[in-house]
Structure 1
Amino acid sequence: MLRYLIQNRNLNDQAASVMVKFKEWKVSFGGYYIKAVGEIKPTPRSETYTVEVKFFTDEKKQPLIRVLSPKLVRNHKNEAIPHMYGQKYLCLFMPAFREFKSTDLITDTIIPWTSLWLYYYEIWHITDRWEGGGIHIENI
């Protein structure tokens, strides 16, 4: 019985969780992934960001998270945005540390972590320091 409680989350589990917890988000299915698109506003004074999360059936492939709008920009020093893969996808966790596992729901991990990342992104624009901590490895 315990085996069934800790099994990998499938696409239907992930999609259902998004539709329940983030009702205004749109969920679509690809052949081997789901795509969830919705808005995140990290604080009442923050921008509203439209983000896309892709979750794959292959547990070796990490979720891909990108901001669709507004466009993420470099700071006033023209420094690259910290904790991103190729300045396209957000770096939310260290895969080698298994901070996200196939048993996790993206609604409990990836989406809240994206909000937190966006909060630190806004702080970085004010202070020129990434306050979110973490270790960033350039390659996915």
Structure 2
Amino acid sequence: MKRTPKLAAAALGAALLVPTLATTAQASAGDCEESHFCFFYNSNQQGSHNAMQSNASDLSGYTFTSRGNGQGVSVKNHAASAVSNVCMTVRVYYNSNYSGPMDMFNYREASNLDNTYNNNASVRFAGDC
């Protein structure tokens, strides 16, 4: 089959109209500001995050707020990693009201959650630097 110039031009025009996938900016550990403890939706401090500065006995009222995977999802039982830019020890607990297994973060520590991976219900800030 022989292509005519009109047919070739039409095919090229159609190819140019094909939408491209836009990439969504993801949060990273560097997005967690000083004096904040940040939960991340994905492992390795990726996806949407929530920045906290005080204790929370129940994380059900908190959501991931930044752009990225998980934005708008409840932090409770959905966080996979965290970073601490808080000059004190921060403990993430499996249960509400600061009980059960926990993960502990020191100042400037970033890590995947281990004991509370996608099963995190409360967070407590303790001590001083």
Q: TM-score, normalised by structure 1?
A: 0.23
Larger Rg: 2
Task: Considering fraction of residues, name the structure with more strand.
Answer: 2
Task: Considering fraction of residues, name the structure with more helix.
Answer: 1
